[in-house]
Amino acid sequence: MLNKVSIFILTIFSFTSCTKKNCIDIEKSNLYMKETKEWKFNDSIGNRQIIDDNNISQTLIFMGSDSIEYKETVWDDCGQSYGSFSCSAQFNTSLSMFNFMINLNAGSYIKEEYDKWPTYSINFLITSFINNDQHNKNIKFDLVNSKIIEGEGKVKYLDNYKVDGKEYEEVLKIDYDWMYADNDIKTLYYAKHYGIIQFINGFGNKFSVIHTP
């Protein structure tokens, strides 16, 4: 009887002692937050000229951006708190009628939630006017775990990529699986600080940002 009670108590104790407190890894979170913010487009760059493979020019118009940052949005079981950051930037092409919205999201969730809902992410939403109708497609990419969490396609991290003679460091190459027509965007290149640097349509025509030194 005593043995059974002892075994029961020991079993309960061992289960309760396995329960971990949900504690935010502040050091890691700060690192992820810093790295996510580096993907933000540098507003001071503004509009840029694009040229395609047929030497047709247009402007990649920077429409504006909004950022929101909170110091404390979640509290863990260890007496710690953490904040969040989100940013949205929009671009239009002056001739081709494409609209790009780039959203960054960082922070907020406790460590346990990372696996379920990664929150260090970047969204690439493209709105195109194809076949006389408006179409949207979106890819959301987890910057920490390097995987797509929304949308269909592939995202590849490049250490560097050259466009119009300029070598950009830390570039994401986004390939969309879905195209509404051949003149829709198939591939997008996005660089840290510089934003969109090139996109390619289904015809293989490359639209490249012109580098002005």
Partner 1 sequence: MKTRYLVYTTIVWVLILFSSCCRKSSETARYFLTDEEKSFIPYTKGQTLTFMHSQGHKFNIDVLVSDTNMMRSLVEHCNEDYVVYEYIFSEMFSADPLLYVNMTINPKNISEYLDIQVNNERFWLSTTNNPDYDTLSIGNTVFTDVYKIENSFQDTTVIKPRSILYNKKYGLLQIKLTNNETFDYVK
* Per CB under 8 A, 49 contacts partner 1: yes
Which string of x and - marks every residue 164-193 that binds partner 1 (by CB under 8 A)? -----------------xxx----------
* Per CB under 8 A, 198 contacts partner 1: no
Within 10 angstroms of residue 23's Cβ, the number of other Cβ atoms is: 14
Which string of x and - marks every residue 84-113 that binds partner 1 (by CB under 8 A)? ----------xxxx----------------
Within 10 angstroms of residue 155's Cβ, the number of other Cβ atoms is: 21
Q: How far is the CB of 73 from partner 1 (least distance, A)?
A: 39
Q: How far is the CB of 179 from partner 1 (least distance, A)?
A: 12
* Residue 17, CA distances (Å) to 75, 143, 212 in order: 22, 34, 62
* Residue 178, CA distances (Å) to 91, 103, 138, 151, 183 in order: 21, 20, 10, 9, 12
Among 6, 30, 42, 57, indicate the residue that binds partner 1 (CB under 8 A): 57
Tokens representing 56 are: 């047709």
Alpha-helical runs (H) found in the chain:
2-18, 26-37, 111-114
Q: How far is the CB of 94 from partner 1 (least distance, A)?
A: 5
The site for partner 1 (CB under 8 A) is made up of: 47, 49, 52, 54-59, 61, 94-97, 129, 132, 181-183, 201, 203, 205
